[in-house]
Amino acid sequence: MKIVSFLIAFVIFSIVILFHELGHFLLAKANGIRVNEFCFGLGPTICGIQKGETKYCIKAFPFGGACMMEGEDEDSTDNRAFGKKPVWGRMSVVFAGPFFNFILAFIFAFILMSCVGYDKPVLSGVMEGYAAEEAGLQEGDEIIRMNHFSVHFSREITAYGTFHSGETIKVTYARDGQKHTTTLVPKLDKETGRYLYGFQTMGNVRVKGNVLTNLKNSFYEVRYWIYTTIQSLKMLVTRQVSPNELSGPVGIVKSIGDTYQQSVKNDGYYYALLNMLNWTILLSANLGVMNLLPLPALDGGRLLFLIIEAIRRKRIDPNKEGMVNLVGIVLLFGLMFIVMFNDIRKLFI
C-alpha cells in the first residue's frame, strides 16, 4: 500500500509540475521564442526525443521539470532568444507557469464540484455561551460575508476564524430570504486556547448544482486555496506559525498516502480518487502562489526584474540578474533541505 501511495503522490506532483512548465512552453512558442528542451525531472537525461528545435526528455530524478529557452539565463545572438523579445512578451511567458497552475486547479475543481457538489456555508447550530448565540444566529442561517470576505463554502467560515483569530468581525447572514448583519466578538476557549465565535457548520453536507453553479464555485474553490496559502505565509512571516510546521515533499507524500489509505478503508476507491483530486487542486494552487512570490529563482522574482525593466526601459545586466538568481537557488535549496529534514524527523516521532 505504501508503494501505491508513493506512486499516486508521484503522479500528482508530475501533473502539477508538467502543467506549470506547459504554460511556459506554450507562451514561449506563441512569442516566437526558441525552446531548446522541455523535460520532466532533474539531473541526467534517461530518454528523450528531438522534435524540430525542441528536445523532449525525462530526467533521472523525478522531481521538478523545466522549459529551457534559448537565452533565458545567458546572452545569445539568436534572434529568437528569450532576451531578444519585447519585455511584455517575456512577462507573459514567465507568468504563464503559475497561471496554468490556477487553470489546472480550476479544471479539477470543476470535476470535483460536478461529482460531489459544494459545502454550503449553512450553520448546523451555534455553541452555547458564545457570540453567535448571543447575537441570535440559529441553525439554518447561511453565512454570506465575514467583514469584507465573501463566504461561499462552509470551510471558509473556519478558515477565516483561524486566520483572524481574536478579531471582532461583522457578519452578514441570510435567513428566510432576508439578509441580516451583526457584530461578533470572539471568546477564548480555555480548553483549546482558541478564540471562538460559536459557529457550528455542516461541512460534511454538500449541495450539487448545475453546470453554471459548478463553474462559479470552481472559481471560488481556487480562490479559497489561494487565500489559505497567502494567509498561511503571512502567519509564517509574522511568526504565528513555526517553520518547523512546514511540510516539504516528504511530508506531503506522507499526507497524500495517509489520505488515500484512509479514504479507501472508510469510503472506497471512488472517494479516494476524489480526495486525490482535492490534493491536486490544493498543490496546484499552492505552487501557483509560491511561484509568484517576488523572490530570486522563482517566477515572481523574474517578473520583478521584468517589471523594473519595463519601468526603466532598459534591461538589467543579465550577469547581475543571473547572480541574484543563483543566490536565490542556493537559499531555496537550503530551505528545502531544512524542510525535508523536519519531514524525515517527524516520521520517527
Residue 261: C-alpha distances to residues 35, 58, 65, 195, 253 (Å) = 41, 29, 28, 33, 12
Contacts for 301 with CB less than 8 Å, ≥ 6 apart: 293, 294, 295, 324, 325, 328
Residue with cell 465575514: 146
Residue 104, helix vs strand vs coil: helix
Cα 140–chain centre separation: 31
Of the candidates 119, 113, 146, 150, which has an alpha carbon nearest to the alpha carbon of residue 132? 146
DSSP 233-296: HHHHHTTSS-GGG---HHHHHHHHHHHHHHHHHHT-HHHHHHHHHHHHHHHHHHHHHHHTSS-T
Residue 168: C-alpha distances to residues 133, 171, 188, 197 (Å) = 15, 10, 12, 9
Q: Which of 21, 70, 72, 321 is catalytic?
A: 21
The answer to whether 21 is a known catalytic residue is yes
DSSP 173-223: EEETTEEEEEEE--EEETTTTEEE--EEE-TT--B---HHHHHHHHHHHHH
Three-class DSSP labels, 276-289 = HHHHHHHHHHHHHH
Contacts for 325 with CB less than 8 Å, ≥ 6 apart: 73, 296, 297, 301, 302
How many Cβ atoms from other residues are within 10 Å of residue 36's Cβ? 13
DSSP label of 151: -
- The set of catalytic residues is 21
